[in-house]
Structure 1
Amino acid sequence: MNAYLRNFYILILISLSYSCTEDKAQENQKLRDEVIQIHDEVMPYMGELKSLRKDVIAKSHEIERNQGEEGAKEVESLKLLAKQLDDAFDGMFVWMRQFNQKEDEMSDEELESYLLNQKEMVKVVNEDIKTAIADAKAVLKD
């Protein structure tokens, strides 16, 4: 009877272990989906970043032509805004290039840590894009 109980407990432990592994895999998939969702939210705005940059540069050239030295401060501000738009654009592609799709080479714990880090990184990219677009629209609205 002891052998029967021992085998029963071993079977339960194996079942629980498998269940925990499956739960962790599901949690990691959910986390991965969140990372991709944050990326997908702003990826459609990449063309808008470039378009706004073009408009910002055109406005800076117009001010240079019409105001000369008097508009130098505003021109410098517009050039910084154009750089902000470029940096936001580049930030997306830098993040995408480093994002590791080889998740099967990681343990569940390594994968969770990696995805949490990626989530924070892509949040910064997301916010940079939204901020750059809002800043450009506010300046161009004037």
Structure 2
Amino acid sequence: MKKYIPTLITAFVLFGCADTKKQEKLLLDSVIAIHDKVMSSDEQLMKNKMLLDSLIKQNPNDSAKVYLKQVDDADNAMSDWMHKFDAENKGKSHQQIVDYLTDQKNKITVIDSQINTAVSTSNKYLNTIIKK
């Protein structure tokens, strides 16, 4: 039995790494799925941005500026990520593509969290202002 273990391990490694294009596509798909989720929150982010802008025009000393900055920062982070993201990865090795997509997945996950926080906190603020 012990003489078959190295053969089994080698087979698992070879078959596990055999379909590199599939692995790259799955990783890209996961990045795009997070991107799509973030974009669905973008509509609320823009709505809150317009409301905060209006409040600031009505009262320039209003604390809405703090929330507007948070919303702007989240929007800018998403915009920057989208402009820099390269889905094609031409001329890169499999490992470079995996590393790049893993890094991009981490970045878009952070942006997702940033946008969710900006939407949530600005919603709470706007709800208190609108109720007054």
Q: TM class by shorter-chain length?
A: 0.7 to 0.9
Ranges in structure 1 where 5+ consecutive residues have no aligned partner: 1-12, 65-71
| AA of the residue aligned to 1:21 | A
| Displacement after TM superposition at 1:17 (Å) | 5.8
Q: Could you list the runs of 5+ residues in structure 2 that have no partner in the other structure?
A: 1-9
Which residue in the other structure is 1:127 paired with?
113
More helix by share: 1
**Structure 2 Cα separation of the partners of residues 42 and 18 of structure 1:** 34
Q: Structure 1 length normalisation: TM-score?
A: 0.72
User: Once the two structures are aligned, what percentage of the paired residues are identical?
Assistant: 27
Give the RMSD, CA atoms, in angstroms.
Answer: 2.2
- What pairs up with 1:13-52 in 2 under 5 angstroms? 20-22=17-19, 24-52=20-48
Deviations 1:13-64 (A, max 9, x none): 9xx8687331x32222111111111100021332322221121232344455
Q: Is the 8 A contact 2:35 2:108 kept in 1?
A: yes
Number of positions where the alignment pairs a residue of Structure 1 with one of Structure 2: 117
- Match status 1:56 vs 2:52: yes
Q: Distance in 1 between matches of 2:14 and 2:99?
A: 20
1:97 is aligned to 2:94:
no
Q: If you compute each CA radius of gyration, which structure gives the higher value, 1 or 2?
A: 1
